Each structure stands twice: as structure tokens, then as C-alpha cells.
Structure 1
Amino acid sequence: MPKRVADVMSHRVISCHPQTPIRRCARRMRENDVSALIVLDDDGYLAGILSQTDLVTLRAYRPEWEEMVAEHAMIRNVLTVTPDTPLEEACDLMARLRVHRLVVVEEDENGKHPIGVLSMTDVVREMAEGDESANA
């Protein structure tokens, strides 16, 4: 049976609010050993994503970065998949669009609720844990 995103994804959603100060976002990434934060609105729906790359870019080009908040640097057009998305389809999306992660969501009439993340690290881990007997 083909694997689905749910079989490989991380169920941890490390998040912040759009009004979270940038320094606090950086601290949260470091403390949780993640390279991106999922930005959630007041109702817990997906508002954006903020990556280490976004923070470094902000630091490089915006002298006032210390006064800024997550919504100033976050990406609003977030690539998402559902838990039932075939893993091959998710990998194709990541490879074609050259993104490091996809946010896994459940959608309702009010928006997208993040339930996990599928990262390149998750995919490589799954590849490494494949059929060990093939190498015996």
C-alpha cells in the first residue's frame, strides 16, 4: 500500500502568532530545534509560515528587524497537503517547487487548521528506514 503523508509527517506544530516579536520567534525556533514556525491566527487557523531563511533575510536587509513581528516576514501563501495526500505526490510538490516543508492541514469552512509538517528531513528519514533487508 502506498504511503501517505500521515505515515511520515511530524505531528508537532511549533507555532507563533502574527504579532509575535521576531526575536521571540528566533528563540522559539532554537528552543524547539525547528527551522520554521507555523503562524496561526487568533482562531488557530493557518496564517503563514516563518522560516530561518525569512529571519536571516530580515536581519540582512531590515535594520529595524528587532521592532518587527512575525507577520512582517512570514510567507502567507503556504503550500499545504492533507494527511491523506500520497507521499509521492507530496515529494513531487516539494521537489518541483524547491521547498523544504509542507504544512499538513485539515480544512473546514473557516480555513486550514495545521496538524503537522512534512519536511525534507521526514522524507529522508523514511527513505533511510526503508527495507533494511535489501542491503543484507
Structure 2
Amino acid sequence: MERLVGEVMHQGVLTCRRETPVQDVARQMSEQDISALVVVNDDGNMIGLISRTDLVNARLYEQYWKHWRGLTAGHIMVTDVVAVRPNDTMQTASKLMMERRIHRVVVVEDAGEGVKPVGVLSVTDVVRDIARD
């Protein structure tokens, strides 16, 4: 029987708020040695995602570069976040990553008006799962 996302994902999610300065986002990624942060609202619902690549691209984009010190997570976050549920199969999650050419999906659970991030599944996690077979 195929494993479920909830069995393989990294549980817990490091987050920031829309108003978090990009310098703090970069610092948190560097200190925690992570490649992405989930952006949440005041209710803890997911509203976006920022990856290391998003930070680098923003730094290189002249319009952002000129105003770097004033930028927040809300300015550079991606809002079209690919998400899966803990009870989705690894095959479903892997296929999504392949089709969308992304390195991670956020694992979410329904929470009233939104979705709460409960984990992250990365390409590295998928490779580890394959190696277990």
C-alpha cells in the first residue's frame, strides 16, 4: 500500500506574516537552514509562500532592489501555492511537483475560512520515500 503524505512530510511549518521585513525572512531561512517560509495571516491560515529563489529574484529585480529595505513578505510572496492534504498519496504529491516543476508542496488542513499549514513535503522527502521501497 502506498504511503500517505502525512507519513512522509516534515511536520510543523516555519511561518512569517505578510508584514515581516524581507531581511527577517532571509535571516530566518538562513538560521533555520530552510528553503522556504509559509506566509500566514492573523488566524494562522496560509496566504502565500516565499522561497530562497523568490528572495534572490526580488533582490535582482531593479524595482525591488531600489526599495529593498522597505520590502515585506507580502511584496514578494507567491500566492498560488501548491498544497496537498495529509491523506493524499505520495504519488499524487509527486505528480503535482513534477507537473508544476516545483521543489515542495505545503501540506494543509481545512480550518474554517482557510487552510492551516501542517507540514511541508519536499523533493528530498520524495527521494527518501522512494529509497525506502
TM-score, length basis structure 1: 0.92
CA contact (8 A) 2:40 2:46 kept: yes
TM-score, length basis structure 2: 0.94
User: What are the equivalent positions in structure 2 for 1:5-16 lying under 5 Å apart?
Assistant: 5-16=5-16
| CA distance in structure 2 between the aligned counterparts of 1:36 and 1:66, rounded to whole angstroms | 20
CA contact (8 A) 2:45 2:111 kept: no
User: What are the equivalent positions in structure 2 for 1:1-136 lying under 5 Å apart?
Assistant: 1-61=1-61, 62-63=64-65, 64-128=67-131, 130-131=132-133
State the AA in 2 paired with 1:38.
V
CA deviation string 1:23-59 (max 9, x = no partner): 0000000111110000010110001000001100110
Over the matched positions of the two proteins, sequence identity in percent amounts to 45
Question: Could you list the runs of 4 or more consecutive aligned residues of structure 1 that deviate by over 4 angstroms after TM superposition?
Answer: none
Moved more, 118-127 or 47-56: 118-127
State the AA in 2 paired with 1:50.
I
| CA distance in structure 2 between the aligned counterparts of 1:65 and 1:56, rounded to whole angstroms | 11
CA deviation string 1:70-114 (max 9, x = no partner): 000000111110000010011001001101110000013210000
State the AA in 1 paired with 2:129.
E
SS of residue paired to 1:89: helix
CA deviation string 1:4-29 (max 9, x = no partner): 10111001301100000000000000
| CA distance in structure 2 between the aligned counterparts of 1:108 and 1:59, rounded to whole angstroms | 34
State the AA in 1 paired with 2:11.
H
> Cα RMSD over matched residues?
0.9
**Pairs aligned (count):** 130
Unaligned runs of 5+ in 2: none
Unaligned runs of 5+ in 1: 132-136
Larger Rg, first or second structure (1 or 2): 1
